[in-house]
Structure 1
Amino acid sequence: MFGTSIHWTTFFYLLIDTVIVLLTFYFSRRNTRSSLRRFLYLGILFITYNATGGFLPIDNFPGPFILQYIITYGVAIALCVYIVYYLYKEYDIVVLKFNSSIKNLAFLASGSYVVLFLMPYFLTDSLDAARFLFTIPISIIAFVFLIIFYRRISNPSNPNAFILRRNKLSMVSVASIALLPICTVIGDYQWITFTVMNLAFFAITAIEVDRYLYFIENNTRMYEVFALKKKQREESVERKIIYEDLTRREIEVALSILSNLSYKKIAEELFIAESTVSKHASNIFKKTGVKNRREFLKRFRKKR
């Protein structure tokens, strides 16, 4: 397509991802929340992944041929690491703890690429051999992570449909990462590889849209918590706490507290540690100008 190696499906995903990023940027240009920036960074990474993986390799590229694969594999590795970081950061889905931080994950992926791909390539001058040596161990690690991830978030007794939907879509994202090495070792079939990877972005986008609708549905329950700016201006009240600063995760926890759920129950429903719930609750109380849970419920559980 266009005289390059890009497949029409890859170009289609490139257009769709670009539209999603542009729409997100347009509707959030006045909102500086870090969660929106993270989603924009994720979208930009997917656009870069589609562009580099779709258009490269090309014959007239300046520099050695292997440089093009260093670029494409480097972007793919960065994207996979960032997807895991996004799931950890946005949804508190912590799968591994011992020596498994995002930084260590990045070092592991980068080191494996150098040792298992670049070194064999320079020694054998065979792209297929280097690709095989790199992808097989990475595939095993990825599928082990996928199994652990599934066990971590799987809880059929959980009554919260919103959280269940999110975890299923999160599984799609992690499964896409696990399948990427397999798709790579099969061969350069862009329509397979890029379909699998872009499913991760579409799944995360669906999560964010679902969360936005969930917040709208529960908007009346959070009305008092958000303390509208217009009311603040009319009453000329100087506040140290701006309620709109609640993160999306804190809003979810606040809604659960307003439902009078215990921290233990909230932790079970959101698949996070009880200590994490307590930390979120502490931030919520601080931002809403109350001292504890009792004062929070007393102030905001009024007749609506």
Structure 2
Amino acid sequence: MLLLLLLFYNITGGLFPDPNFSLAIPIQLMIAYGSGFLMASFFPLFFYKVMELPALRWHAYFGVPLFLILPYVIFFIIDYAIHGNIDKDLKYGLIVPFIYAMVLLYVMFKSIRAKYLANRNEKQYFEEIAMYCAISPWASLTLFGVVEASQVIEVLCTNSGIVFITIIFLAQSVKNARNEQSRSAETITTDFSEKCKVFKLTKREVEIILLFRKGLTYNEIAEALFISSKTVSNHVQNIYDKTGVNNKVALIHKLFE
């Protein structure tokens, strides 16, 4: 969603206003400025949900509609539609959003610091710095509207924030996937141990099952455990009898699924 909003913001900011376009200039300007407000409005919700910053909940659901979306509707839609003076709307319509952006930026910095302060290490410190770099361009959206910076500088700044956010998101996704995989492995190990107790499998039989699961043949298991293939075959038959299965696939499924 954030990347789609960024794409929409870049396209409208680059194309509008264009007198050769079929839309009226006032509508083009409403869309162009609206894309910036829309993307800025999504940032607090993104950091509240994805980056797990609970302090941003009120701002995501109430602060943004009141202090970002409402000023946009009042000045850039209603007032601009009535009077057609975009310079005046830029002058007064960005006062509240700019002040609110500074307040929200402080809240976001504070909540990020609180999140990482309790359990700080080198890896988390890097992630914390990356989050600071990611949210800083968010506040610059309103700043650019006030100072009317060049579009190149504006795009480079805002897009750099998205790059940092994307890096953080991918890093967290990888970390969450590894944690989930680790939890799954621990759960499988625990369940397997319990099932082995239920079926009264011996230590040797458990070793053979684990090697079975790795795809080893009877001869390879025999070599790994320094026993004969005939002994392995006898153990396997005992395992089948105890667990009530008659093949390796059914055995693996019964003990590990």
TM score, norm. by length of structure 1:
0.55
Candidates 171, 192, 202, aligned match of 1:210: 171
Distance 2:178 2:255 in 1: 29
Alignment correspondent of 1:55: 15
| 3-state SS, counterpart of residue 143 of structure 1 | helix
Stretch of structure 1 that moved more, 170-179 or 45-54: 170-179
Distance 2:187 2:88 in 1: 58
For residue 209 of structure 1, report the CA deviation from its aligned partner. 3.1
Alignment correspondent of 2:76: 117
For residue 67 of structure 1, report the CA deviation from its aligned partner. 0.5
Q: How do 1:1-304 residues align onto structure 2 when only pairs under 5 Å count?
A: 41-97=1-57, 99-102=58-61, 105-106=64-65, 108-122=67-81, 124-155=83-114, 156=117, 158-187=119-148, 189-212=150-173, 214=175, 221-222=182-183, 224-225=185-186, 227=188, 234-236=252-254
Distance 1:226 1:43 in 2: 36
After superposition, the C-alpha distances for 1:121-160 in whole angstroms (9 at most, x for unaligned) are 3454322221111122211110011112212222556423
Stretch of structure 1 that moved more, 216-225 or 163-172: 216-225
| 3-state SS, counterpart of residue 159 of structure 1 | coil
Alignment correspondent of 1:269: none
Distance 2:180 2:101 in 1: 39
| 3-state SS, counterpart of residue 154 of structure 1 | helix
For residue 102 of structure 1, report the CA deviation from its aligned partner. 2.5
Between the aligned residues of both structures, percent identity stands at 20
RMSD: 3.2
**Does the CA-based 8 Å contact 2:72-2:93 persist in structure 1?**
yes
Give the number of aligned pairs: 196
Distance 2:59 2:130 in 1: 22
More helix by share: 2
Stretch of structure 1 that moved more, 189-198 or 105-114: 105-114
Distance 2:46 2:72 in 1: 22
**Does the CA-based 8 Å contact 2:13-2:32 persist in structure 1?**
yes
**Does the CA-based 8 Å contact 1:117-1:133 persist in structure 2?**
no
Long gaps (5+) in structure 1: 1-40, 240-304
**Does the CA-based 8 Å contact 1:150-1:171 persist in structure 2?**
yes
Amino acid aligned to 2:169: E
Distance 1:70 1:227 in 2: 56
